[in-house]
Amino acid sequence: MTAPQIDETRALDHLMDLLAIEGLSGREGKVAAAVQEKLLAAGCEASWIGHDDANVRIPGNYEVGNLIVELPGTRPGPRRLFMGHMDTVPLCRGAVPVRLNGRIEAEGDTALGGDNRTSIGALVTMVETLLAQDVPRPPITVLMTVGEEVGLWGARTAELERLGNPEMGFNIDSGAPHVVIIGATGADRWQVDIHGRSSHAGVHPEHGVSAALIASRAVADVAARGFFGKIELPAGSGTSNVGRMAGGEASNQVTDHVFVSGESRSHDKAFLARITAAWRDAFEQAARSVTSSDGQCGRVDFRAETD
C-alpha cells in the first residue's frame, strides 16, 4: 500500500480559511460551522457529525458544544481519537491571516491563532485525505473542543461514551510537529486575595498594612526558595508563574487589597502540590510578617484548582 499523499495547497487553504474566523472561548460557533461545511464537502455523511451538550454543562453562555465526528472504519480495530481545540485566546480577536515570504502571519497587532487552528486545519485535512484516498483505517473519532484556553472546559466535560470509547487519543496542540508528548503536565491555577489595611500614606503609613508589600514579599520568597519560573530542585521539577497582580487605588493610600493569580505545573502530581503549597505558605507567611504600629497584620485568602 502506498502512503497517503497530502495535498499541501488544499491543507494551506483550509488553514487560511480557519485562521480568518473569529472564535474566542465560548464563541466557537462559526468555526464549528466552517469545519462542518468542509467535512461535508470532503465526503463525510451528515450523520457522522454532531455536537455534544458541553455548552449546557460549561458555565457561561457557550454557543456550541464540542464538535464530534465519527468516521466508520474500513477495517476492524480499536477506535482512535484525534483532537484539537476550536477556541483561540482574546489576543486573536479580529485576526486577519496573511501569507508573507513563506510564512503565515497576522496582519496588524493581533495574535494569529495558530494555537490551535493549525490543529483544526490538520484534522480537516486528515479526514479529507482519508476519504479521498480511501485509506484503510479503524474507526476514528475526531473531537474539536470548546473553551480550552480558559480551563480545558470542552475536554473536561467530554464523555468517553459519546466519543465512541476510543482506546487511544492524539491531542494536537503543541510546538514542533515531530514531537510527541506521552504524558500530560498537570497544572494548578491559583488565586489569592491579599487583605491589608488602608491608612494615609503621607500622614500615618505605620497605621496601615500594605497588601502590596505582602504580595511583593511572597513572590520574592517563592523565588528565593527556587519555586518561581523554571523549577529544578532535588525534590522535583516544574514551572510556576504569576500571571496577574492588581490592586491599590491611590499613591497616598496604603494598599489594602491586592489580587494575584498564577499557576504551577509539573509532570509529578506530588511535586505539583508542593509548588502550589510553596505559594500558599509564602503568601500566608508574608501576611503575618507585615504589621501595623498597633500590631495588626494582613490576611490572605488563597484558592487553588487542579486542571
Residues that bind Zn ion (CB under 5 A): 115-116, 173
- C-alpha cell, 125: 485535512
Pick between residue 116 and residue 210 the one whose CB is nearest to Zn ion. Answer: 116
- Please give the helix or strand (H or E) that residue 32 lies within, else none: helix 29-41
CB of 195 to Zn ion, least distance (A): 35
Pick between residue 173 and residue 193 the one whose CB is nearest to Zn ion. Answer: 173
Distance CA 44, CA 24 (A): 26
> What are residue 78's phi and psi, to 5 degrees?
-65, 140
CB of 227 to Zn ion, least distance (A): 25
Q: Which residues pair with 171 in a beta bridge?
A: 83
Pick between residue 120 and residue 260 the one whose CB is nearest to Zn ion. Answer: 120
Give residue 33's region: left, alpha or beta (phi > 0; psi -120 to 50): alpha
Distance CA 304, CA 93 (A): 29
CB of 25 to Zn ion, least distance (A): 11
Distance CA 239, CA 230 (A): 5
CB of 112 to Zn ion, least distance (A): 12
Pick between residue 1 and residue 180 the one whose CB is nearest to Zn ion. Answer: 180
CB of 293 to Zn ion, least distance (A): 50
Q: Could you identify the residue written with the cell 508574608? A: 286
- Look up residue 112 and give its amino acid: L
Pick between residue 217 and residue 265 the one whose CB is nearest to Zn ion. Answer: 265
Pick between residue 25 and residue 240 the one whose CB is nearest to Zn ion. Answer: 25
Give residue 165's region: left, alpha or beta (phi > 0; psi -120 to 50): left
- C-alpha cell, 143: 473531537
CB of 149 to Zn ion, least distance (A): 7
> What are residue 256's phi and psi, to 5 degrees?
-100, -5
CB of 67 to Zn ion, least distance (A): 16
CB of 157 to Zn ion, least distance (A): 17
Pick between residue 115 and residue 263 the one whose CB is nearest to Zn ion. Answer: 115
CB of 50 to Zn ion, least distance (A): 23
Work out whether strand 49-51 and strand 103-107 pair parallel, antiparallel, or are unpaired.
Answer: unpaired
CB 41 within 8 A of CB 49: no
**Chain-centre distance for alpha carbon 139:** 28
Pick between residue 118 and residue 276 the one whose CB is nearest to Zn ion. Answer: 118
Q: What is the largest CA-CA distance in the chain?
A: 84
- C-alpha cell, 30: 462559526
Pick between residue 71 and residue 86 the one whose CB is nearest to Zn ion. Answer: 86
DSSP-assigned letter for residue 6: P
DSSP-assigned letter for residue 184: P
